[in-house]
């Protein structure tokens, strides 16, 4: 194996990113290929995902991985009673047919298979709980501030006709991702919205790498470039094995796979995974296809059958708890936590949710309807992008109609038949010959709309993408508004924790108007650490003013030590050092002088105000 240090490895990745090798829409020069061949040294440094001992997975008699797909005698046994492996994990890179690697940093993946019909196997609910446990123990992940699942159609996605809108969408995704620690979750395929989100992440990574390279060569390289303030980019694909190209290559052994292109027709859908996702959770549903009739309810789970949509819904629900919850040696569960695993799997609402989640729906197919209904029943806020087509537009239509006319006769005589007609127009092949299924989805849509609000809480938000003033770059504001409006006001310690979390979110996202309308209108709560955060960060003057308006006693906070710490922790450190310390005080190191408060601060005030007698 080659031996190179981590700094060299990082530089190799930066070089690849900056010359644009990761673009899937460019031609490559001879120099590009030469640069790529030189980077092969780095490919030998793929890390090994060793499972920590505290990962509670049955290991005895269980191979670390499936046999390699490169073995000519290998034949996958999909009989769940014979196959004893619970999971396969690895680290993989994806290349095109010319050998150019799309994801130079690689992607983590875990391939889960759930046993059924075996008395010795744990029940499916218990096995599913191993997924977040694996994410914590094997991948070293920690829960984010918020999770954004994106629901979209797997088979009915269309390319956006307006490239400007697509660019706006990508900017909106990254703008949100840079606000706070956030996970985006998609279906992981290299097509439609999932690929667009991947492109946004790819562009942001490249931008960060270029900025990092520039700062390394800057004359002010000793200064804090705020790289530590950048939010980690986490894009998780929950993928169905039955729709994957090259699924057998995700075997725990293969380190690089060649994208072979998506194949779609009426009888078969096979997709490459999107290389810009940082993690993949692959569900082996090849042997779990016993669902009949073309649909299944996500909230009435039959433990003998677990479709991909049910699997994804359950994983997303479990992730609303902190990952550390699942890694406790012995989890003490209260009645509200579900007294046993089977009940937890069936229970539509998870109490004591720790990690906020907001679901974004763009277009969507028939399976999306059940997924949305499940989210609403669990009181997880859902944003429907009206104007994106398909299911999104049908739900928006029903929402508008029911809000304008709540008469039961109107619903029976007009709305129900009209929703059926729209479903049939959109999904004729699936619904034309089965009235039962068609009525099922109609009723689900009406249920989504009717259960979209409860008391003062709002779980369903319709955003008109064709409305006046709409801009995809404001996705962050729509997400945060939906989250705040979905919450019930808690009391006591839980209420205090909720207020702190919400204030931190509005501060991170720089939305003072939302802080005023959704938080301070309910409570005049103030907090020293959050106030300090507002003072230190750029463009947060309106938040400081909000705190003062709420009666925050600033003179009790601004003691001598606190004032000094504010200058040391200032976010715009480069400005402070070059303009204040160097130009005004003539101090040419980035350390704060000992006499800064008694002498230096007065000198700064005299310079800035032209008042001599300070």
For the chain, give the number of residues.
614
Q: Are residues 505 and 479 in the same domain?
A: no
Is 155 within 8 Å of 367 (Cβ atoms)?
Answer: no
Q: Are residues 345 and 470 in the same domain?
A: no
Min mean pLDDT across 12-26, 184-198, 258-272 is at: 12-26
Q: Domain ends where: 333, 357, 381?
A: 357
| Confidence grade of residue 109 (pLDDT, cut at 50, 70, 90) | very high
Q: Are residues 319 and 417 in the same domain?
A: no
Is 4 within the bounds of a domain?
A: no
| Confidence grade of residue 598 (pLDDT, cut at 50, 70, 90) | confident
Q: Are residues 523 and 399 in the same domain?
A: no
Is 284 within the bounds of a domain?
A: yes
Q: Residue 462 in 3-state DSSP?
A: strand
pLDDT of residue 566: 75
Examine the pLDDT at 456 and tell me if it is beyond 80.
yes
Q: Are residues 154 and 63 in the same domain?
A: yes
- Cross-strand pairs, 110: 89, 281
- What is d(CA 309, CA 595) in angstroms, rounded to the nearest whole number? 63
| Confidence grade of residue 64 (pLDDT, cut at 50, 70, 90) | very low
Is 21 within 8 Å of 35 (Cβ atoms)?
Answer: yes
pLDDT of residue 149: 98
DSSP state, residue 228 = G
Q: Domain ends where: 452, 484, 516?
A: 484
Is 171 within 8 Å of 199 (Cβ atoms)?
Answer: no
Q: Are residues 267 and 316 in the same domain?
A: yes
The two structure tokens encoding residue 272: 């490459």
Q: Over the stretch 464-507, which tens digit does the pLDDT of each residue have?
A: 999 988 999 999 999 999 999 998 887 888 888 888 888 888 98
Q: Over the stretch 554-587, which tens digit does the pLDDT of each residue have?
A: 776 677 777 777 777 777 677 777 777 777 777 7
pLDDT of residue 73: 40
Is 226 within 8 Å of 571 (Cβ atoms)?
Answer: yes
Examine the pLDDT at 63 and tell me if it is beyond 50.
no
The two structure tokens encoding residue 485: 């409006």
Average pLDDT over the chain, rounded to whole?
76
Q: Are residues 609 and 529 in the same domain?
A: no
Q: Over the stretch 382-409, which tens digit does the pLDDT of each residue have?
A: 999 999 999 999 999 999 999 998 888 9
pLDDT of residue 491: 80
- For the residues 10-21, what does the mean pLDDT come to? 39
Is 458 within the bounds of a domain?
A: yes
Examine the pLDDT at 280 and tell me if it is beyond 60.
yes
> Domains in the chain: how many in total?
4
Is 244 within the bounds of a domain?
A: yes
Q: Over the stretch 301-344, which tens digit does the pLDDT of each residue have?
A: 343 457 889 899 999 999 999 988 887 644 444 333 433 444 54
Is 2 within the bounds of a domain?
A: no
Q: Over the stretch 126-167, which tens digit does the pLDDT of each residue have?
A: 778 888 988 998 999 999 999 999 999 887 777 888 999 999
- What is d(CA 308, CA 240) in angstroms, rounded to the nearest whole number? 6
Whether the predicted model's global pTM rises above the 0.85 cut = no
Place of tokens 């028939």: 366
Most confident of 203-207, 296-300, 331-335: 203-207
| Confidence grade of residue 7 (pLDDT, cut at 50, 70, 90) | very low
Q: Are residues 610 and 502 in the same domain?
A: no
| Confidence grade of residue 169 (pLDDT, cut at 50, 70, 90) | very high
**First and final C-alpha spacing in the chain:** 66
Domain membership of residue 547 as a residue range: 493-551
pLDDT of residue 608: 77
How far is residue 356 from each of residues 280, 399, 456, measured CA to CA in Å?
A: 21, 24, 18
DSSP β-ladder status, 460-464 and 256-258: unpaired
Q: Residue 157 in 3-state DSSP?
A: coil
Q: Are residues 210 and 96 in the same domain?
A: yes
Q: Domain ends where: 302, 332, 357?
A: 357
DSSP β-ladder status, 457-458 and 453-454: antiparallel
- For the residues 197-213, what does the mean pLDDT come to? 91
pLDDT of residue 121: 53
pLDDT of residue 571: 72
- Sort residue 258 into left (φ over 0), alpha (ψ -120 to 50) or beta: beta
pLDDT of residue 127: 75
Min mean pLDDT across 30-34, 201-205, 362-366, 592-596 is at: 30-34
**Cβ atoms within 10 Å of 343's Cβ, excluding its own:** 13
pLDDT of residue 79: 38
Is 525 within the bounds of a domain?
A: yes
Is the alpha carbon torsion for 367, 107, 169, 146 positive or negative? positive
Is 424 within the bounds of a domain?
A: yes
**Cβ atoms within 10 Å of 352's Cβ, excluding its own:** 11
Is 382 within the bounds of a domain?
A: no
| DSSP per residue, 332-386 | ---GGG-SSHHHHHH-S--SS--S-B-EEEES--HHHHHHHHHHHHTT--EEEEE
- What is d(CA 171, CA 607) in angstroms, rounded to the nearest whole number? 40
Q: Are residues 164 and 284 in the same domain?
A: yes
| Confidence grade of residue 218 (pLDDT, cut at 50, 70, 90) | low
Q: Over the stretch 530-543, which tens digit does the pLDDT of each residue have?
A: 887 887 788 888 98
Own/partner pairs, 297-301, CB within 8 angstroms, 24+ separation = 297/370, 298/370, 298/371, 298/373, 298/374, 299/346, 299/348, 299/373, 299/374, 299/377, 300/346, 301/345, 301/346
- Cross-strand pairs, 88: 111
**CA-based R_g, the chain, Å:** 27
- What is d(CA 244, CA 240) in angstroms, rounded to the nearest whole number? 7
Examine the pLDDT at 613 and tell me if it is beyond 80.
no
pLDDT of residue 190: 93
Q: Are residues 476 and 502 in the same domain?
A: no
Is 326 within 8 Å of 125 (Cβ atoms)?
Answer: no
| Confidence grade of residue 227 (pLDDT, cut at 50, 70, 90) | low
- For the residues 344-355, what does the mean pLDDT come to? 57
% of the chain at pLDDT higher than 90: 36
Most distant CA pair in the chain: distance in Å?
A: 89
| Confidence grade of residue 115 (pLDDT, cut at 50, 70, 90) | low
- Sort residue 202 into left (φ over 0), alpha (ψ -120 to 50) or beta: alpha
Q: Are residues 498 and 480 in the same domain?
A: no
Phi, psi at residue 41, to the nearest 5°?
-60, -40
pLDDT of residue 117: 52
């Amino acid at each position: 194996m080659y031996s190179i240090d981590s700094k060299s490895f990082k530089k190799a990745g930066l070089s690849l990113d900056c010359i644009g090798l990761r673009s899937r829409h460019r031609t490559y020069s001879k120099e590009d290929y030469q640069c790529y061949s030189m980077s092969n040294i780095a490919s030998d440094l793929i890390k090994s995902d060793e499972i920590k001992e505290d990962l509670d997975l049955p290991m005895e008699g269980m191979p670390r991985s499936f046999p390699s797909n490169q073995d000519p005698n290998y034949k996958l046994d999909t009989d769940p009673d014979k196959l004893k492996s619970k999971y396969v994990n690895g680290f993989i890179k994806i290349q095109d047919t010319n050998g150019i690697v799309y994801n130079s940093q690689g992607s983590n993946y875990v391939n889960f298979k759930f046993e059924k019909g075996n008395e010795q196997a744990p029940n499916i609910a218990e096995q599913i709980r191993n997924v977040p446990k694996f994410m914590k123990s094997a991948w070293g992940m920690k829960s984010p501030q918020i999770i954004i699942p994106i629901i979209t159609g797997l088979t009915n996605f269309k390319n956006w006709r307006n490239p400007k809108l697509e660019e706006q969408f990508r900017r909106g995704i990254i703008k949100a991702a840079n606000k706070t620690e956030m996970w985006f979750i998609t279906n992981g395929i290299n097509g439609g919205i999932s690929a667009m989100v991947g492109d946004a992440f790819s562009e942001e990574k490249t931008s960060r790498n270029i900025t990092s390279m520039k700062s390394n060569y800057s004359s002010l390289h000793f200064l804090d470039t705020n790289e530590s303030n950048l939010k980690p980019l986490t894009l998780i694909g929950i993928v169905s094995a039955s729709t994957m190209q090259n699924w057998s290559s995700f075997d725990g052994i293969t380190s690089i796979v060649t994208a072979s292109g998506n194949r779609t027709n009426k009888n078969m859908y096979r997709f490459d995974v999107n290389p810009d996702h940082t993690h993949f959770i692959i569900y082996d549903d090849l042997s779990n296809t016993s669902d009949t009739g073309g649909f299944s309810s996500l909230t009435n789970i039959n433990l003998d059958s677990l479709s991909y949509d049910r699997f994804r819904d359950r994983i997303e629900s479990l992730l609303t708890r902190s990952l550390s919850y699942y890694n406790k040696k012995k989890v003490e569960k209260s009645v509200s936590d579900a007294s046993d695993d089977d009940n937890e799997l069936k229970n539509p609402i998870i109490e004591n949710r720790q990690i906020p989640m907001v679901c974004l729906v763009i277009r969507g197919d028939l399976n999306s309807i059940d997924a949305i209904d499940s989210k609403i029943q669990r009181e997880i806020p859902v944003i429907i992008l009206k104007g994106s087509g398909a299911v999104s537009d049908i739900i928006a239509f029903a929402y508008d109609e029911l809000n304008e006319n709540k008469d039961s006769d109107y619903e029976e005589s007009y709305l129900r038949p009209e929703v059926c007609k729209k479903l049939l127009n959109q999904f004729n092949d699936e619904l034309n010959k089965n009235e039962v299924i068609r009525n099922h989805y109609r009723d689900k849509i009406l249920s989504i709309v009717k259960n979209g609000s409860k008391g003062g809480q709002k779980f369903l938000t319709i955003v008109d993408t064709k409305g006046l003033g709409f801009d995809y770059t404001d996705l962050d504001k729509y997400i945060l508004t939906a989250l705040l409006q979905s919450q019930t006001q808690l009391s006591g310690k839980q209420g205090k924790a909720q207020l702190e979390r919400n204030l931190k979110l509005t501060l991170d996202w720089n939305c003072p108007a939302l802080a005023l309308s959704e938080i301070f209108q309910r409570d005049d709560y103030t907090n020293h650490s959050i106030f300090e955060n507002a003072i230190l960060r750029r463009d947060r003057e309106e938040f400081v003013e909000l705190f003062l308006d709420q009666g925050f006693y600033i003179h009790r906070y601004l003691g001598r030590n606190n004032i000094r710490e504010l200058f040391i922790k200032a976010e715009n450190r480069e400005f402070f050092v070059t303009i204040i310390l160097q130009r005004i005080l003539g101090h040419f190191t980035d350390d704060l002088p000992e006499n800064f408060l008694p002498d230096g601060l007065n000198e700064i005030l005299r310079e800035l105000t032209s008042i001599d007698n300070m």
